[in-house]
Structure 1
């Protein structure tokens, strides 16, 4: 086994065997979370421990633990015994998420414009570049993921620990909400305008752009839902 400099415990002189360790349940939760948010596992579809364990080549215990995590995150609805279902968000659920998103982003984007750092802007620009590249290539999976990443990096730029904590609590449900669109270029263009306003520290423009972006997202989500149900 080859150890690298980063594998050594500071001052100990020996490699840390737990460095970079992730429990199996964490890897299973990440896989299922991505599949739910990306729409691979559709709302209402069953999540059976035995079947998932066979698909992923793991035992049922990490699957059971992963499902508990996803229930806590609001993406999965538990059922009796050894299965669950992908959550079906009701109209009321979505309205609640949009209300929270509206209040959250109005503050987050304003603080990002006031507090952004050069390094933070570079991170945001990299995410925006990735979104543009995927949108122009017509790659919905990568474009939607990058679009959700854009909002998360803006939260980092806001430099408010409590906002970051709230974002972590709501992260999975918000990412699900943020990927409900099909017009990849339109979303990338609005993110470009938001980036430019943040870079210019233009709080007034940011406020107007956020309000417009929220309305655009609502309209695109309605179109996406109609297309999916059709």
Structure 2
């Protein structure tokens, strides 16, 4: 019997089989997005068997996902009570947005130095798309496009560490920003347009300043939103998430 030859990864004919995503990872991703988009609202009591039924999985990957979400601050695990969606404290929001302001103001400054005509065209298109989503009342579309614009500006900085750090806070920022999108929308996209113009003009200092002001406006809007919506969270039975299959 002839032995099979060993080929290197670069050898002709070699095909890598893409490994399926582990179930616990898929459950983690699904629950994270449900928290971000508000399907699982802040303060909600999370019941493993209920979540397993919604996602069409067993309780084990849900339990593993909840543990990871707890470690990352999305969920609070309380002995004798179970899991609850984390309710951010005001200083927690301030700290994250302060970190974001530092990262993204520098990203904007460097983007003004490095952006090409092609890059600028993409930024301008994102501004138009985001404003259109806002006018149409499509909050999910506006929030998604907002994230894409900020991400592209960070990428244009040319600094891979800024890209890595910004990526770590992106989801948390989306979580904070989602309920603000209908309120901040029009002003936010006007600020984006001014920001893109500063980048287009190659004005590094102005781009950094506009980004800092933009983040500060979001921080203030968040606190105003929280102050006006300081009602107790609804009971877990008041709202059931839409069934999703993974």
TM-aligned CA distance change 1:162 to 1:60, over 3 Å:
same
What pairs with 1:14-163 in structure 2 (closer than 5 Å)?
A: 15-18=15-18, 21-80=20-79, 83-163=82-162
Unaligned runs of 5+ residues in structure 1 are 1-8
TM-aligned CA distance change 1:214 to 1:44, over 3 Å:
same
CA distance in structure 1 between the partners assigned to 2:214 and 2:169 by the alignment: 19
1:187 match: 188
1:212 match: 213
1:13 match: 13
Cα offset, 1:53, TM superposition: 0.9
Unaligned runs of 5+ residues in structure 2 are 1-8, 232-246
Give the TM-score of the pair, scaled to structure 1: 0.83
Cα offset, 1:194, TM superposition: 0.9
CA deviations over 1:23-70 (Å, ceiling 9, x no partner):
222322222222211222211112222211111101223223322332
1:6 match: none
TM-aligned CA distance change 1:145 to 1:226, over 3 Å:
farther
Aligned residues: 221
CA distance in structure 1 between the partners assigned to 2:119 and 2:68 by the alignment: 30
Cα offset, 1:109, TM superposition: 1.3
CA deviations over 1:60-106 (Å, ceiling 9, x no partner):
23223322332343222223479421111112212211221222222
Q: Is 1:198–2:199 an aligned residue pair?
A: yes
CA distance in structure 2 between the partners assigned to 1:136 and 1:14 by the alignment: 50
Q: Is the 8 A contact 1:74 1:173 kept in 2?
A: no
Q: Is the 8 A contact 1:43 1:87 kept in 2?
A: yes
Moved more, 169-178 or 182-191: 169-178
Any idea what SS the aligned residue of 2:134 has?
helix
Any idea what SS the aligned residue of 1:134 has?
helix
Any idea what SS the aligned residue of 1:77 has?
strand
Moved more, 217-226 or 104-113: 217-226
Cα offset, 1:12, TM superposition: 5.0
TM-aligned CA distance change 1:65 to 1:120, over 3 Å:
farther
Q: Is the 8 A contact 2:90 2:223 kept in 1?
A: no
TM-aligned CA distance change 1:127 to 1:74, over 3 Å:
farther
Cα offset, 1:215, TM superposition: 2.9
| Structure with greater Cα Rg | 2
Q: Is the 8 A contact 2:129 2:145 kept in 1?
A: yes
More contact order relative to length (CA 8 Å, sep ≥ 6): 2
